[in-house]
Amino acid sequence: MKRVFLPLAAVAALGLAACSDKAQNETAEAAEAIGADANATMSEAADDVEAATDSALGAAENAADSTGDAIEQEASDVGNAADAAEDELDK
């Protein structure tokens, strides 16, 4: 009777081993997919941060340019006013 169960036990063990290998492969594939998704998400996040940084720096540069232009215009206005005052004094 024990000899009958020995081959059945061997077949059952092989079945479990095959199932276990399949489960391990599926787990490995799932882990790879999760890793790929995480990498894609991180890459997308890095791209988003870079784009936001570029946008913010562009806005800051535009603000600095506008401020510089305004200061230049005011300096020109002051110079024109000084010239006009000098002309009035010369009369």
Structure tokens at 5: 């169960």
Task: Residue 81: name the closest of 6, 11, 89 by CA.
Answer: 89
Q: What amino acid is encoded at 49 in this protein?
A: V
Query: What does the pLDDT look like over 13-60, one tens digit per residue?
Result: 656 566 677 777 887 888 889 888 998 999 999 999 999 999 999 999
Q: Which residue has the tokens 């006013």?
A: 81
Q: What amino acid is encoded at 50 in this protein?
A: E
Query: What does the pLDDT look like over 59-69, one tens digit per residue?
Result: 999 999 999 99
